[in-house]
Structure formats: structure tokens, C-alpha cells
Amino acid sequence: MSKATLSFLDKERTIAGSGFNRWLVPPAALAIHLCIGMAYGFSVFWLPLSKAIGIKESIACGPEVGFFQELFVTTCDWKISTLGWMYTLFFVFLGSSAGLWGGWLERVGPRKAAVISAMCWCGGMLLSALGIYWHQFWMMLLGSGVIGGIGLGLGYISPVSTLIKWFPDRRGMATGMAIMGFGGGAMIGSPLATGLMKHFATPTDVGVMQTFIVMAGIYFVFMMSGALSYRIPMTGWKPLGWKAPVAEKINHMITPHHVHVKNVFKIKQFWLLWGVLCMNVSAGIGVIGMSSPMLQEVFGGQLIGVAKTYSMLDKGELAAIAGVAAGFTALLSLFNIGGRFFWASLSDFFGRKTTFFIFFVLGCLLYISVPGSANAGNKLLFVSAFCIILSMYGGGFATVPAYLADLFGTQMVGAIHGRLLTAWATAGILGPVIVNYMRDYQLGLGLPREQVYNQTMMILAGLLVVGLICNLLIRPVADKWFMTAEELAEEKRQAHEKIIEDEVHSEVDKKVSSEDGQLTHPVMVWLAWGMVALALGWGIYNTLINAAKFFN
């Protein structure tokens, strides 16, 4: 394919004219994030895949078959613990790829990065489908884990810098809208996958391979639609009538200057913010992975009005409380998603540092309160605490890009955000390890199941204290780290930026300054938002149905 054929992906071809409506960019970002967010929902495939050969019951491998043998074995089924490595690889490669190619993304623009993300994420699912067909787990790890994980990283950071530049007046709200989609991807993808697997299942096939193929096709259409809809503003663009608030001139935490990504590892504020994100995510992600068994083990028969501990329940009662716990998990997902938009938008008024201060202080108090509410059998306080905690977990993801833009400027915020996501990759290992191994350790000591999480809550509260200290130590970046006017001009030249010469520029300005400068028709905006709202609404509807089980 010739270079000319792919020229529509060039950054220069994505620069919006003066008539472009900036409200078309968030639904484009949501279209991508709602697809790659299915990474959170991949656990829906574990049980069927663990019976890919046995169909009704798993055919267990012999004791001589270790992990490396499972990569190639074709005569027995994979263990669920083995399948979980795909989930681990998702977030390791998300953080790694975002860190490695964040600077490249700033140079080539969000459209090209998002197109490659779509190819990696959907192509990885197709390779995984082939791995299921041949029963080769190494192909699934390579497909969804490695290639798909790279797609996750590029897709996750592709809209960040663009949205911050389109919404200088509402940085937090803008990134919150997009990153909300990543949290909502599993709400849509999980019920879709479940329905497809039921449709394709036969007496000789669990239906996962066909589901992967269909979902890859659907996701590719949505992600390419979002990628091709990306537009970036000309340098110097501002919303009509908006001026930088006077507060920004005296608030040294918000800089008008820009740091080059090559220097960011040398700056202590970056590492402090790395610690802030890592601690916030570690505390939340461990709870997400264990939310269902934790509720069941802590409250046992109380969830269904039976005065029995978890260990005393029979098979039917265990199935009943599992349904209630599924509703609890669904409820947490709603707060995770809603918190991304709520807290990020609120940070535009409170400031990022104050918002994270609230996260850590309130979160620490809530974790400390959990053992007390559990011992008292107060389900309302227990569940409310975790709902608020998960809202702040999601809110941390959505607020961090704006925090970076405040400290390091907007020129290379996407690349710097990519570097920072290595904190997520670290937290993806640290959080679950703390929760899972502390649970096993407490059980090994002979503690009752309803008490095994008490010590864990104290450790998670301690992580938030570390995050609080990191946040309190953050100060404005020293002037020596900012690019000079000449360095900034050179960076803009290499990034193929188009600079506005006059002062009259907004998304509704009727002057046309490029071939894409015609006014955006309002119907286009409504259609774009309608498509993502329909998908998100369907996911929320299904999640509310599951959440209702908890209240029933």
C-alpha cells in the first residue's frame, strides 16, 4: 500500500478548520475506549474456556503438565488460573506500550495511533480465536495479551492530549468523559459476549472462538469510526470568548509552559505523581478482583436472610449468595464509571491536588471503617464504603491527565501520560497480590472467613497514606525543566502543528481557514453522541438489572 494511500492518517490531515465543533471529539474517544474497556470483562470467558475440550466438565491436565506445557497442550483443558495471565498481560503491556510510544503518538497524531490500536486490539482477538481453534494457549497470550495489550495502551492514551487541547476550560471534564468509556467497556462487552456464547454454543463447542471473531468485527467498526473522527485544534486555538482565568496566573500549580517528555524521568514531581497513581490504583484494583468472594465470605447467609456463616452454607445457599454478590460487583462497576466523570469534572473547580487529597483521606477512613461495619453486620455501610472507594479509584484515572497538563504543560501531555501509566502496570500486580496473598495467609492462620479481610483493609489504608504523602509533596515544576521558546517551536515543527495567526478562533467561528473548515452541522454532533449513548445505555441497563439482585 503506497504512502499516498495512507496520507489520510497523517497528522496534518487531522487539523480541524475553524468551523469544527469540538463536541465531536469526546464521542470519538468514547467509541474507542468503550471497545478496549472490554479488557476488564475478559473474565467472562474464563469458565467456558476452561471447558473448551470437555464442554460440560473440564478435562484436567495431569500433574506432569506445568504452566509452560499448558501453553502447547491439546489434550486437556486450561486452568482458570492459567487463563488469568491474559488479564495480567493486558495491563502490563498497556502501561509498557503507552510509555514506549507516547512520544511517537504526539508526533504522528491521535488518528494514526488509534487506527493501529484498532488493528492490534481486534487483530489480537482474531489471533486468540485461532488459538482457541487449535487449542494453543501461547497464541492467545500473544494475540490478546501482547498484541491486544499494545492496542490497549495506544488506544487509551490516543485522545488524552487532544481532548485537553480542545477543552482548556474543562480539562478534567474532557478526560473524564473519555476515560469513563474505558471503565464502561466491560458493562457493554460482558453481556454481549455472554449472549454470543449462548448463541454459538453447541454440544461440541463452547462458542468462545466464534464470539471472539464477531466481537473483533464489531469493535473494529466502532474503533475505526472513532479514529477517523479525530480532529486536533490548530496551535493557539481557544473556545470563543474564553480566556485563561486570572487564577491560573497566580496558581503556580498550573503552568503555561511545557516540559519535554525526554526530561520527565528526571523530575521529582513526575515520580511523586507516579506514586500517587500507583497507590490509588493498587488499593482499588485489589478490591475489584475480590469484591464478589469478599462480600460472600464476610456476610455469608445474611445476604439471603439465613443466620449461617459462609462455611455453613449448603450448595443451594451458596448459589443464592453468589447471585447477590454479582449484583454487588455490578453496583461497584457503576460507581467506578460514574466516578470517572464526577470526580474529574469536580477537579476543574477544586484543583487536582485537592481532589487527590480527598481521595486519600476519605478512602483511608473508609477502608478503616470496613472491619467495623462487617463485624456489626451492617451491609449498607459496608457496601456504601466500597462504592465510594471505587468511584475514587475511577476518578483517579480520569483526573491524572489533567494533573499532568497542569504540572508539565499540554504540548507533550499524551507522551508523559504514557510514561505515567507504568504505575498502572505496577499496581495491576501489587494490588491483587496484596489482597489475594493476605487472604490466603489469614486463612492459613485459621481465622474465620468473615475476618480474613480485616488486616487487608488496614494495609490498603496504609497504601493510601503513602499516596497522600506523595500528593502533599508535589510542588510546581522548576523553570529549568521547561522548554525554551526555540525548543518549543522546534517541537511544534516536528509535530507538524498548524499555528493560528489571528485571535478569532472557536469551534463555531464562521471563518474557514482550511479544507475542513465548514461549520459542523448540529445533527452530526447529536448522531455521534447518540451512538455512544445507545451503547453505554444498554450496558448500564444490563448492569442495573444485575445490581437489583443485591437489593432484592
Phi, psi of 47, deg, nearest 5: -65, -50
Asked if the model's pLDDT at residue 375 lies above 70, the reply is yes
In the chain, where the domains are located: 8-58+65-238+510-552, 277-473
- Residue-wise pLDDT for 143-167, tens only, equals 999 999 999 999 999 988 899 989 9
- Residue-wise pLDDT for 216-241, tens only, equals 999 999 999 999 999 999 887 888 87
Place of cell 456504601: 384
Asked if the model's pLDDT at residue 358 lies above 90, the reply is yes
CA 174 to chain centre: 15
Phi, psi of 341, deg, nearest 5: -80, -45
How far is residue 241's CA from residue 249's CA, in Å, rounded to a whole number?
A: 18
Closest Cα to residue 536, out of 247, 81, 183, 266?
183
DSSP summary character for residue 64: T
Please determine whether the domains at 8-58+65-238+510-552 and 277-473 fall in the same fold group of CATH: yes
Domain spanning 277-473: CATH superfamily: MFS general substrate transporter like domains (1.20.1250.20)
Closest Cα to residue 247, out of 479, 359, 406, 396?
406
- Residue-wise pLDDT for 285-318, tens only, equals 877 767 777 888 888 888 888 888 877 888 788 8
Asked if the model's pLDDT at residue 550 lies above 80, the reply is no
How far is residue 271's CA from residue 240's CA, in Å, rounded to a whole number?
A: 36
How far is residue 436's CA from residue 287's CA, in Å, rounded to a whole number?
A: 10
What per-residue confidence (pLDDT) applies to 248?
45
The topology under which CATH files domain 8-58+65-238+510-552 is Growth Hormone; Chain: A; (1.20.1250)
